[in-house]
Chains A and B, each alone.
Chain A
């Protein structure tokens, strides 16, 4: 009963958020300079042809009309077609105006559906690596505030957070792929290609997790019920693993939700460096090609993912701490 009402309310809110995001993106894309038709048709195409194509595609209609058409399409599950990419799968569309492959442009939905699983795989793996690095360090630091483990946690996260990810990516690729030949680095040809970018991303996220955990574990350890637990006869392991960690996991959960959403939406630099065929790389190319429908599609899908992840995080947090239902 509670869950049904909670889901109904949150999904409605989410739909509103996604609608607003798409409205903003749609408007912004149409007011920035740069004519996509010129890019599509090629620099040599005559002005009249460009106007004709633009008219045909409805790009000269008022923005609200274009947006109405677009939203109607989304409701029917149609994110539109890429301006640039042909269905054949080539990365960049025809260079000249009379290229006949242009008529079979790729569906945006298909483009996203092909790349999103790659990004999800990368995001999940980097999350896993980050947790493996951060949880022991963070918890240890939180249990001994002000002492060596706490300082270690602080210094380590300072180092991690100040490593630029593009630099770290390149250095690790040089070290692990080129010199030691342990891991493949560029492109995608199997699961092994995900490991290196995931490590780089994990090191980027880990400091936030370490910091959150040290602070929240240290906070929980000062609580009255932890002090009293030993007097009540609980063992130290019970106190730490059943009570302290459980109570400090709610802030961590919220952080993980935000981090995961960010990983899904914007690992642009890392995917670009490693030429990893995920959503990030797709976004970069779409932006460079002024591929409006694709940019919009990615924005809407990531916004929806963001909303869903937040709902899941809040449900998990409520399951851990029932006071949050109120």
Chain B
């Protein structure tokens, strides 16, 4: 109804030949080149582009929020027929009132020292002074309810730091919509969110579009999300619009080479059949790492006195030599705490972590250091995890120095060899890491970890900071290194498509527990836990979904690990929960063929089957 090209509705927003140039130190670089498009009232238009394609600059140019080095050289931005670039006072009168903006970083978007409610009211009254404070408050609470913030009236009086990331993004949607704008510019709003929360936000945005008849320019970097969100998709590549089509047509018949490449490169979860990297290892040998009933608690002191955060509650899995073991889960599920336990950075409060026959959790500090020669960690943040003042060669040599291996000459040779293996040639040896790209930095981190010739490499979100192409290159590197050195990998990740491509065996974590451990294809084609199905239903993909979000996930977010309800932690969001789930916590049980899951439904069905068989 909104995309009918023959409709005579005048466009709400009309961008004509927009060119933006960045000027720094006398060099000018074109960021956006000759962008033209129209957006009709009530329409949702997705804009997709990889990082560096200029999509954020476009979003900010539309709301008049430009970095000082950026200049609009030609073109016009017509809102209801008036040019925002020339008519500055018209533009600033529209800001927040007719044109609303939501950014990708909800965490820092509101003043931390004022309550969310007070800031919503402040914003509404700044752009519409005729509304009384009382009415503004009533409207804010009504909208907070509309975006499904639980107990909105009391949450209204809470501070931004008391909101989770997903709730903060909902609050920012309220902030944008509270003034009934005609146009909403959403810049990468789902990127920092977990898949299940992002899926909810997308659904919410489409509902709001119908209810409040706001036109939306939805900017993102993921093709599946863009197609899911908008009626039409506009593809931005190197600062130019390369094509614009209705979402379904774009995937079916991409016109431009770039779009075609984008679609073919897109990794799939199910489309290529069942075969994943499902190479099974012999499970009768000794496991390289064996985790049993591991738990970790942290004490926090809050307003209400002391509280115990149950970061990791009950984790169990075995990793066998040659495995690519994946650990997936959303933020706050205890992945990072688990990583700290696996690497001996912290000691578990219960359970054991056996690495090649020795317990990492109880080893003496000296023994732990010796053990670390054989298991190494590669971290997520490519920028914070490398010392900026050491040369690249020194960074790679340092582990050898710490463990007192070889002479100076030998260490240098080994460091050079490791650097060459990860694709950083000799010329990098004496450089500082400052000039390296994110991908090169992750290669350097891998070199630093593998120079000790470990047996096990733990990758904590190592690929999350990289774009699709760079991820692919590093994954190739990992499998080459595995073939050459016989490494075993543990990938800790929230990215299901990456895990589907790479891992042979996958553990799913929810609120500090492993709720399912299964081989790759079993986990994607026959998951045993309802949470795994929910994760799969929310994963961004263009494919026909095996699991539909409507069937798999209730509204809401994971409960806080501080006051966990008794029973199964997922019960509150599970569409299949029954009485027992609220009383007892299910343990991992075998579903045959090396797959395990923790759910009472399995017992129920297997008992039902057993009775039927009998």
Contact across chains for B159 and A323 when beta carbons are under 8 A apart:
yes
Taking the closest CB of chain A, its distance from the CB of B189, in whole angstroms, is 13
B436 lies within 8 A of chain A by Cβ: no
Q: Which of A229, A233, A235, A326 contacts B302 (CB 8 A)?
A: A326
A231 lies within 8 A of chain B by Cβ: yes
Cα A48 to Cα B461 with chains together (Å): 84
A243 lies within 8 A of chain B by Cβ: yes
B122 lies within 8 A of chain A by Cβ: yes
Contacts of B96 in A (CB 8 A): 231-234
Contact across chains for A321 and B303 when beta carbons are under 8 A apart:
no
Q: Which of A223, A234, A320 contacts B123 (CB 8 A)?
A: A234
Contacts of B40 in A (CB 8 A): none
Question: Which B39-81 residues have a C-beta within 8 angstroms of A?
Answer: 63-65
Q: Given the known A-B contacts A233-B97, A326-B302, are A238 and B126 also in contact in the complex, defined by CB atoms under 8 Å?
A: yes
Contact across chains for A233 and B127 when beta carbons are under 8 A apart:
yes
A322 lies within 8 A of chain B by Cβ: yes
Contact across chains for B63 and A233 when beta carbons are under 8 A apart:
no
Q: Given the known A-B contacts A232-B123, A234-B126, A238-B122, are A224 and B109 also in contact in the complex, defined by CB atoms under 8 Å?
A: yes
A110 lies within 8 A of chain B by Cβ: no
Taking the closest CB of chain A, its distance from the CB of B571, in whole angstroms, is 30
Contact across chains for A231 and B65 when beta carbons are under 8 A apart:
yes
Contact across chains for B126 and A225 when beta carbons are under 8 A apart:
no
Contacts of A227 in B (CB 8 A): 65
Cα A322 to Cα B114 with chains together (Å): 8
B112 lies within 8 A of chain A by Cβ: yes
Cα A223 to Cα B105 with chains together (Å): 12
Cα A114 to Cα B24 with chains together (Å): 65
B110 lies within 8 A of chain A by Cβ: yes
Contacts of A191 in B (CB 8 A): none
Taking the closest CB of chain A, its distance from the CB of B65, in whole angstroms, is 5
Q: Which of A2, A232, A235, A321 contacts B113 (CB 8 A)?
A: A321
Taking the closest CB of chain A, its distance from the CB of B301, in whole angstroms, is 7
Contact across chains for B112 and A323 when beta carbons are under 8 A apart:
yes
Contact across chains for A225 and B101 when beta carbons are under 8 A apart:
no
Contact across chains for B109 and A321 when beta carbons are under 8 A apart:
no
Q: Given the known A-B contacts A231-B96, A232-B123, are A325 and B303 also in contact in the complex, defined by CB atoms under 8 Å?
A: yes
Contacts of B97 in A (CB 8 A): 233
Interface residues on B, range: 20 to 34
Contacts of A174 in B (CB 8 A): none
Which B residue's beta carbon lies closest to that of A232? Answer: B96
Contacts of A225 in B (CB 8 A): 108-112
Which B residue's beta carbon lies closest to that of A320? Answer: B113
Q: Given the known A-B contacts A224-B105, A225-B109, are A233 and B123 also in contact in the complex, defined by CB atoms under 8 Å?
A: yes
Q: How many residues of chain A are within 8 Å of chain B by beta carbon?
A: 24
Contacts of A2 in B (CB 8 A): 303
Contacts of A229 in B (CB 8 A): 111
Contact across chains for A246 and B111 when beta carbons are under 8 A apart:
yes
Which B residue's beta carbon lies closest to that of A319? Answer: B113
Contact across chains for B112 and A231 when beta carbons are under 8 A apart:
no
Contact across chains for B126 and A235 when beta carbons are under 8 A apart:
yes
Cα A39 to Cα B63 with chains together (Å): 79
Taking the closest CB of chain B, its distance from the CB of A230, in whole angstroms, is 7
Contacts of A321 in B (CB 8 A): 112-113
Taking the closest CB of chain B, its distance from the CB of A251, in whole angstroms, is 13
Q: Given the known A-B contacts A238-B126, A246-B113, A326-B302, are A231 and B108 also in contact in the complex, defined by CB atoms under 8 Å?
A: no
B175 lies within 8 A of chain A by Cβ: yes
Contact across chains for A224 and B303 when beta carbons are under 8 A apart:
no
A242 lies within 8 A of chain B by Cβ: yes
Cα A323 to Cα B126 with chains together (Å): 26
A228 lies within 8 A of chain B by Cβ: yes
Contact across chains for B161 and A231 when beta carbons are under 8 A apart:
no
B95 lies within 8 A of chain A by Cβ: yes
Question: Which B392-442 residues have a C-beta within 8 angstroms of A?
Answer: none
Which B residue's beta carbon lies closest to that of A234? Answer: B126
B179 lies within 8 A of chain A by Cβ: yes
Contact across chains for B123 and A228 when beta carbons are under 8 A apart:
no
Cα A8 to Cα B376 with chains together (Å): 47
A177 lies within 8 A of chain B by Cβ: no
Taking the closest CB of chain B, its distance from the CB of A37, in whole angstroms, is 52
A247 lies within 8 A of chain B by Cβ: yes
Contacts of B100 in A (CB 8 A): 232
Contacts of B239 in A (CB 8 A): none
Q: Given the known A-B contacts A323-B159, A323-B161, are A242 and B303 also in contact in the complex, defined by CB atoms under 8 Å?
A: no
Contact across chains for A231 and B159 when beta carbons are under 8 A apart:
no
Taking the closest CB of chain A, its distance from the CB of B386, in whole angstroms, is 24
Contacts of B110 in A (CB 8 A): 225
Contact across chains for B159 and A230 when beta carbons are under 8 A apart:
no
Cα A228 to Cα B95 with chains together (Å): 11
Contacts of A233 in B (CB 8 A): 95-97, 123, 126-127, 179
Q: Which residues of B contact A (CB under 8 A)?
A: 63-65, 95-97, 100-101, 103, 105, 108-114, 122-123, 126-127, 159, 161, 175-176, 179, 301-303
Kindly list the 6 A-B residue pairs having the minimum CB-CB distance in the complex, ordered from nearest: A233-B96, A224-B108, A233-B127, A232-B96, A321-B113, A231-B101
Given pairs A227-B65, A228-B103, A326-B302, 15 additional interface contacts (CB within 8 A): A223-B108, A228-B101, A228-B109, A231-B65, A231-B101, A232-B95, A232-B176, A233-B95, A233-B96, A233-B127, A233-B179, A238-B122, A238-B126, A242-B111, A320-B113
7 contacts between A and B (CB under 8 A): A225-B109, A231-B63, A246-B113, A320-B113, A321-B112, A323-B112, A325-B303
Q: Which residues of A contact B (CB under 8 A)?
A: 2, 223-225, 227-235, 238, 242-243, 246-247, 320-323, 325-326
